[in-house]
Structure 1
Amino acid sequence: MSGRSAQYSKPIANYLRVKKLQIFPVLKRLDFSGKLTWSAPAGHQWTLFFNRGQVIYGHGGVHPMRQWYRQAQTRLPEADLSYQTLQKSLVTSPTASWLDGWDYHLLHNWLSQGHLSQQALQDISTSIVADILFDVVQTGETQYQLARQPALDPSHVPIAIDETTLLPSVTDRWEAWLEGGLEAYSPNLAPVIQHPEPIRAQVSPGVYASLMQLLDGQRSLRDLAVKLGQDVLNLTQALRPYIQAGWLDLVEVADFPALGKGDPPIAAHQRPLKIACVDDSPMVCKAMGQVIRAAGYDFLSITEGAKAIPALLAQKPDLVFLDLVMPDTNGYEICSSLRKMSRFKDVPIVILSGNDGLVDQVRARLLGATDFLSKPMEPIVILSVIRKHLAPAPT
């Protein structure tokens, strides 16, 4: 890696970014065990764990939970990765070493229990570290700190990541990202459709409907790439013309709720926060209720639109999921009426819709909707939206 870096022929600014990776051979020569942490002025941190000079795992960055979740979901497609199950698994997980991340402990436990193969663990760890290194390289200004720790017992380190292929692959990906004109596009941003009609004219109706559901600002480029089974570079290059034309925009998206002892999905309040779902489908309300109650919230289900406003006034929820299309009324009318009431002036209202038109989104926002979520809804996305709009105020 050091020889390759010395021959780097790209502009000096890009060379300095890639040069950050030269610390790896240094730590290998020093037989370093402990943590390497990069910090950015924006406040993000990325931590890599080393044992005897070899990197074994990493976490942190903009979306540590999303980062772990998409990799675990890919390698464990049959596993129960619901928030409540992960939290319960974490409570029983031992934390006997300085490699103290909840994410690594869950993976290590699954390996010891036979639910995860050693190759799958290595693939997950390698993908996470590769994403971290790409973000560190893309972030122009960073500082790093080293915290030396005792070498780990071999039983706690079932795998080591192959740096001889990892580091060149990160450099190659960064160079390809630059050559594709994507330097300003972070893979942690989420694409959202701004002008659907030009897109509708260029793709089939089926593809258009899929795009309207996927490109809703709730999934990052990396999330979408994994979900679609594509490389994030190719996906971003495919979307770039639409972004440049102004048909798509890239927006920041919140991380999924964090796991960890003492870090519940909701803050300590005098009463549990209450979430309401107004949807004429009992199945939608039931599914959403299971997710929301398991996360520690109170839940209110309303399946008759005509009774929504009286029920909401009586129960006073802290956030409302509101279906756009119902047989006896519609979400527009309910949202508009709620916003005229002082009690609901600032309550987050998230519109649910299976429709594919941006007109619906724009109209809903004009009437006071806080956010817009496409059906079908993934449980982890539901929790992410709740966390986004009900995050506790800083103390």
Structure 2
Amino acid sequence: MSGRSAQYSKPIANYLRVKKLQIFPVLKRLDFSGKLTWSAPAGHQWTLFFNRGQVVYGHGGVHPMRQWYRQAQARLPDTDLSYRALQKSFAAGSTANWLDGWDYHLLHNWLDQGQLSPQALREISTNIVADILFDVVQTRETQYQLARRPVLDPSHRPIAIDETDLLPSVTERWEAWLEGGLEAYSPNLAPVIQHPEPIRAQVSPGVYTSLMQLLDGQRSLRDLAVKLGQDVLNLTQALQPYVQAGWISLVEVADFPALNGGEPPIAAHQRPLKIACVDDSPMVCKAMGQVIRAAGYDFLPITEGTKAIPTLLAQKPDLVFLDLVMPDTNGYEICSSLRKMSRFQTVPIVILSGNDGLVDQVRARLLGATDFLSKPMEPIVILSVIRKHLAPAPT
């Protein structure tokens, strides 16, 4: 018997990781209903939900909230997806069965209300499960557990995912990821520009400005791909030469705040944490205030730069958002002055800027800035940064 052996340009063990997907036809034959949970030594878990042998949804991983939010945002452009609205919608509902977590619950609410079509729900679920399966395949060491649950009631309208195309597409994507030399890069990492001048010399001014605003370390490769309407593989390959040259770094980025099961911003016995925003634009302060107050924090707007330091000293905020460019002063001077005061030596100072230069970021960090955000800012990114720097203390 003669035959042609497959040719692999990477270690064969990398390709064989897709064998983890062979459990799907087994569960289909068993008419399995319940949860399949993979776990990794680093502590991450990914859960797929099955009903009568078919996958209906998935949850977990490094960024469960980002993962859900980017898919919902892409298919519900006219729906209020602010953190406050999502919390309110979730709190108003009830958990009807073992599958009804906050994310699936919200999607089915929108399905019942006619805001989301069955096809859109299937697309959201398929994309989430595809991301989960890719991450499971990319993770070298995983273990899985199965937990049987009752078959879902048909009145619940579970919408199964078509595995015919899903599993081959995950396999093809992983193989393309390997062939592109991307096996060391997780799509959950966030690109941030480290050396802008070489990039400026290679792209148009418009593209350069967009890159400086988007590649700020606050959006993962997957977030950017959905936002730009691109395939994450093509996007990562386009950035790869800049990463290899050291002009762009890929860094870990925190997940968005959870809607349930997470720590509230304040405990019942504590005072509300106070967030200040120093920006000469009343519109920016108003928008920030709506987001921050809705999350349970006190908000201190300061629109006159000359009054920033005395006001901050008097009000003693727990975190400061600080605009770089103001008519009567600048964020550099304010940041430098605050860091010289004992009260503000450890208070997080997050710089806001609409400019495109990394020089701004470097100079601000040298003067003591904690973090840097590019304008315009998405509400959920604002809250993610707050939670990142004001995480609840261990008990």
Q: Which ranges in structure 1 are unaligned for 5 or more consecutive residues?
A: none
CA shift in 2, pair 1:356/1:40, >3 Å? same
- C-alpha deviations, 1:239-294, integer Å up to 9, x for none? 00000001000000010110026754555561111100000111100000000001
Whole-angstrom distance in 2 between the partners of 1:296 and 1:5: 61
Give the distance between the partners of 2:339 and 2:306, measured in 1 at CA.
17
For residues 158-200 of structure 1, give each alpha carbon's deviation from its aligned partner in whole angstroms, at most 9, with x where no partner exists: 3100111100000000000000110011000000000000011
1:288-321 deviation digits (Å, cap 9, x = unpaired): 0000001110000000111001100111101000
Cα deviation for residue 92 of structure 1 reads: 1.2
- Contact 1:258-1:264 within 8 A present in 2 as well: no
Residues 143, 208 of structure 1: CA spacing in aligned structure 2 closer, same or farther, 3 A cutoff? same
Count, aligned residues:
395
**Cα distance change on mapping 1:269 and 1:24 into 2, 3 Å:** farther
1:16, distance to aligned residue in structure 2 (A): 3.5
Give the SS at the match of 2:122: helix
Q: Deviations over 1:360-390 (max 9, x none)?
A: 1001000000000001111111011101111
CA contact (8 A) 1:118 1:158 kept: no
**CA displacement at 1:101 relative to structure 2:** 1.3
Residues 290 and 3 of structure 1, relative CA distance in 2, 3 Å threshold:
farther
Q: 1:84: Cα distance to partner?
A: 0.3
Mean CA deviation greater in 9-18 or 179-188? 9-18
Determine the C-alpha separation between the residues in 2 that align with 1:278 and 1:95. Answer: 42
Aligned to 1:61: 61
Aligned in 2, Cα 1:261/1:41: closer, same or farther, shift over 3 Å?
closer
- Contact 1:257–1:265 (CA<8 Å) still a contact in 2? no
Aligned residue for 1:3, secondary structure, equals coil
1:394 CA drift (Å) = 2.4
The alpha carbon displacement at 1:154 in A equals: 1.3
1:40-95 CA distance string (max 9 Å, x none):
11111100000111110001000000000000000101110000000000011120
Q: From the superposition, tell whether residues 7 and 247 of structure 1 become closer, same or farther in structure 2 (CA, over 3 Å).
A: closer
Q: CA offsets per residue over residues 318-373 of structure 1, 9 Å max, x none?
A: 10000001111111111111111111111000000111111110010000000000
Q: Could you list the per-position Cα deviations for residues 90-127 of structure 1 after superposition, in whole angstroms to 9, with x for gaps in the alignment?
A: 01112010113100000011101111100000000000
Structure 1 residue 134, shift from structure 2 partner: 0.3
Task: Give unmatched runs, 5+ long, in structure 2.
Answer: none
Report the 3-state secondary structure (helix = DSSP H, G, I; strand = E; otherwise coil) of the residue aligned with 1:150.
coil
Q: Residues 3 and 75 (structure 1 numbering): CA distance in 2 closer, same or farther, change over 3 Å? A: farther
For 2:156 and 2:56, how far apart are their aligned partners in 1? 10
1:1-395 counterparts in 2 under 5 A?
A: 11-260=11-260, 264-266=264-266, 268=268, 270-395=270-395
* Pair 1:145–1:281, CA change in 2 (3 A): same
Contact 1:258 1:265 in 2 (8 A): no
Q: Is contact 1:259-1:265 (8 Å) kept? A: no
The CA RMSD measured in Å over matched residues stands at 2.6
Instruction: State the secondary structure of the residue aligned to 2:68.
Output: helix
Cα distance, 1:240–1:268 mapped onto 2, change above 3 Å:
farther
Q: Distance in 1 between matches of 2:283 and 2:3?
A: 60
Over 3 Å counting, the alpha-carbon distance change for 1:327 and 1:207 in structure 2 is same
> Given that residues 56 and 157 in structure 1 are in contact (C-alpha distance below 8 angstroms), is that contact kept between their aligned partners in structure 2?
no
Pair 3,364 (structure 1): closer, same or farther in 2 beyond 3 Å: farther
Measured after TM superposition, the shift of residue 12 of structure 1 is 3.4
Which range moved further: 10-19 or 321-330?
A: 10-19
- C-alpha distance 358-8 of structure 1, shift in aligned 2 (>3 A): closer
Identity %: 91
CA distance in 1, matches of 2:76, 2:284: 25
Determine if contact 1:63/1:255 at 8 Å carries over to the other structure: yes
Report the CA distance shift for 1:268/1:3 in structure 2 as closer, same or farther (over 3 A).
Answer: farther
Write the distance in 1 (CA, Å) between the matches of 2:127 and 2:2.
22
Change (3 A) 1:371 1:297: same
Please give the secondary structure, in 1, of the residue aligned with 2:5.
helix
2:265 and 2:297 in contact (8 A); partners too: no
The answer to whether the 8 Å contact 2:10/2:178 transfers is no
Q: Distance in 1 between matches of 2:192 and 2:216?
A: 5
Which 10-residue stretch deviates more, 66-75 or 261-270? Answer: 261-270
Separation in 1 of the partners of 2:328 and 2:11?
62
Deviation at residue 4 of structure 1 after TM alignment: 16
**What TM-score do you get using the length of structure 2 for normalisation?**
0.96
C-alpha separation in 2, matches of 1:111 and 1:39: 31
Is this contact kept in 1: 2:265–2:273, CA < 8 A?
no
Contact 2:9 2:179 in 1 (8 A): no
* Alignment partners' CA distance in 2, 1:342 and 1:37: 48
